[in-house]
């Protein structure tokens, strides 16, 4: 049968049996809408949770928590358990690892105060939590033109004895036990998106402070704040003499510590050596291992176990499994709808074949083949499936827009609240319409074969 003839038959049947076909297509549209809506919701939630809240492309390993002296270690300068450089090298040999980046916590008390230019008055914390990371880990996150995230003393200024000897915004960096120092730029620091979200959605409203999430980088580029090293509300470090340094927030990074500041690794090592001793500077507190895919995570965890290192946070894996299970369950619901729709299509086409038995026999008698009759029915089902899938796709998109609108107006602001809860990658509409067409064709397969087996002689004899 020629394509033009097949098109004519399908177009005629769409008009003649539009009511029955529309009823059959309704189930396909409902299944497609459910599938697209649930998958888009799951993908959107996954993007937020595993992209911003719990990064899934990395594993952070650390020594067992039971070996960590915690806060008492800061007060009494007890060296925390650490990761040796040999362990870092061993992790780099694991198959699937794309990068290994050590981290180093500050192992001494410190505090910070500043922000008058942002808030109108100084704010601060009597106990500052901070760590250091390899600048290479965040190189791609920081936009061009920002202050370099590196130890300022890699490019030291002139000698000095007071801040007045340095040209602003530099200050005089004088290490404990020395009488002269070096002019240094403010130490660059990163904050986490988590900290910004907590501040904007919880702390700022409670203290009548402006939210800073959208303006932090532009406003803070020329603003410094003071960090007091070696002393905090809880006490002093036994090493070194407490002193004040200047720092400046230069970016927001998902690699930064959740609550606190993150400085370049070299700065953290230098400060730890001064205020906590040599061991605290040379042994890392944790290590971030980046992997090429989720499948490579198990090999990293196995290698970490041999090195007596445990994952710091398993929430990313737990959330990933939970989202996958939920998406699978919702997709199963959509599949059930598709199966019911396929059954409905099978019934509709069986009735159609029975009603058109004489017509089919006539076509066979004038030369149409069994393949032509089967193609006729399957092409009609394919059109119904594609049309139903397209309608379902539009319905799902409208439902997603409505849900986002309700969420924006009814849900209060909360950390990491996205502008949309849905993600529609390019492949989702194609996959949805393909599934719709597939189930429609599967439903019509039996009736199509029945139409192909109609005997011209026996059918015409019954007229």
Task: Determine the pLDDT at residue 137.
Answer: 86
Of 68-77, 79-88, 182-191, least confident by mean pLDDT is 68-77
Of 189, 182, 191, residue with least CA distance to 226:
189
Checking if the pLDDT of 219 tops 90, the result is no
Q: Given pLDDT bands bounded at 50, 70 and 90, which one contains residue 159?
A: very high
Give dist(CA 15, CA 10) in Å, integer.
9
8 A C-beta contact, residue 48 and residue 418: yes
Global pTM reads: 0.59
What is the SS3 assignment for 185?
coil
| DSSP β-ladder status, 171-173 and 181-184 | antiparallel
8 A C-beta contact, residue 242 and residue 231: yes
Element (H, E) at 32: helix 18-48
Give dist(CA 39, CA 392) in Å, integer.
13
For the chain, the domains span 3-52+319-461, 58-312
Of 316, 312, 295, residue with least CA distance to 304:
312
Give dist(CA 124, CA 113) in Å, integer.
4
- Read off the pLDDT of residues 21-65 as tens digits, 9 standing for 90 and up: 787 788 888 888 888 888 888 888 777 665 555 566 678 888 876
Checking if the pLDDT of 419 tops 90, the result is no
Rounded (to 5) percent helix, strand, coil in the chain = 55, 15, 30
Checking if the pLDDT of 213 tops 60, the result is no
In angstroms and rounded to an integer, the radius of gyration of the C-alpha atoms of the chain is 33
Of 73-77, 93-97, 174-178, least confident by mean pLDDT is 73-77
> By percentage, how much of the chain surpasses pLDDT 70?
79
- Read off the pLDDT of residues 350-368 as tens digits, 9 standing for 90 and up: 888 777 777 777 777 777 7
Strand order in the sheet with 243-252: 123-125, 110-114, 225-229, 243-252, 187-191, 261-264, 130-133, 97-105, 286-291, 58-62, 310-311
- Read off the pLDDT of residues 394-410 as tens digits, 9 standing for 90 and up: 999 999 999 888 887 87
Checking if the pLDDT of 301 tops 90, the result is no
């Amino acid at each position: 049968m020629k394509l033009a003839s097949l098109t004519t038959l399908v177009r005629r049947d769409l008009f003649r049996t539009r009511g029955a076909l529309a009823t059959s297509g309704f189930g396909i549209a409902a299944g497609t809408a459910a599938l697209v809506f649930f998958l888009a919701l799951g993908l959107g939630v996954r993007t937020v949770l595993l992209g911003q809240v719990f990064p899934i492309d990395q594993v952070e390993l650390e020594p067992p928590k039971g070996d960590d002296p915690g806060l008492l270690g800061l007060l009494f300068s007890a060296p925390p358990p650490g990761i040796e450089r040999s362990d870092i090298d061993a992790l780099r040999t694991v198959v699937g690892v794309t990068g290994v980046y050590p981290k180093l916590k500050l192992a001494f008390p410190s505090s910070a105060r500043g922000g008058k230019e942002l808030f109108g008055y100084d704010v601060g914390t009597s106990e500052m939590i901070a760590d250091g990371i390899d600048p290479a880990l965040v190189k791609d996150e920081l936009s061009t033109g920002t202050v370099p995230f590196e130890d300022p003393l890699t490019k030291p200024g002139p000698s000095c004895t007071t801040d007045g000897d340095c040209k602003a915004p530099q200050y005089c960096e004088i290490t404990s036990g020395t009488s002269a120092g070096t002019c240094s730029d403010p130490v660059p620091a990163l904050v986490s998106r988590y900290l910004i979200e907590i501040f904007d959605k919880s702390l700022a409203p409670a203290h009548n402070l402006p939210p800073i999430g959208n303006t932090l980088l532009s406003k803070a580029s020329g603003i410094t704040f003071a960090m007091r090293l070696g002393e905090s509300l809880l006490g002093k470090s036994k090493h070194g003499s407490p002193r004040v340094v200047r720092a400046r927030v230069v970016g927001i990074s998902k690699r930064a510590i959740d609550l606190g500041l993150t400085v370049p690794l070299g700065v953290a090592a230098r400060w730890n050596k001064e205020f906590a001793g040599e061991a605290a500077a040379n042994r890392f507190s944790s290590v971030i291992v980046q992997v090429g895919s989720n499948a490579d995570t198990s090999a990293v965890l196995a290698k970490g176990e041999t090195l007596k290192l445990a994952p710091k946070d398993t929430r990313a894996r737990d959330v990933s499994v939970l989202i996958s299970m939920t998406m699978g369950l919702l997709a199963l619901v959509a599949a059930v709808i598709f199966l019911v729709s396929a059954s409905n299509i099978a019934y509709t086409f069986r009735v159609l074949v029975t009603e058109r038995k004489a017509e089919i026999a006539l076509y066979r008698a004038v030369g149409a083949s069994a393949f032509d009759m089967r193609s006729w029915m399957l092409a009609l089902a394919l059109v119904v499936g594609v049309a139903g899938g397209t309608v379902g796709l539009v319905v799902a998109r409208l439902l997603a827009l409505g849900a986002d609108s309700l969420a924006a107006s009814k849900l209060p602001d909360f950390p990491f609240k996205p502008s949309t809860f849905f993600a529609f990658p390019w492949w989702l509409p194609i996959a949805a319409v393909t599934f719709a067409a597939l189930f429609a064709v599967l439903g019509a397969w039996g009736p199509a074969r029945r139409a192909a087996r109609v005997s011209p002689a026996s059918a015409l004899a019954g007229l």
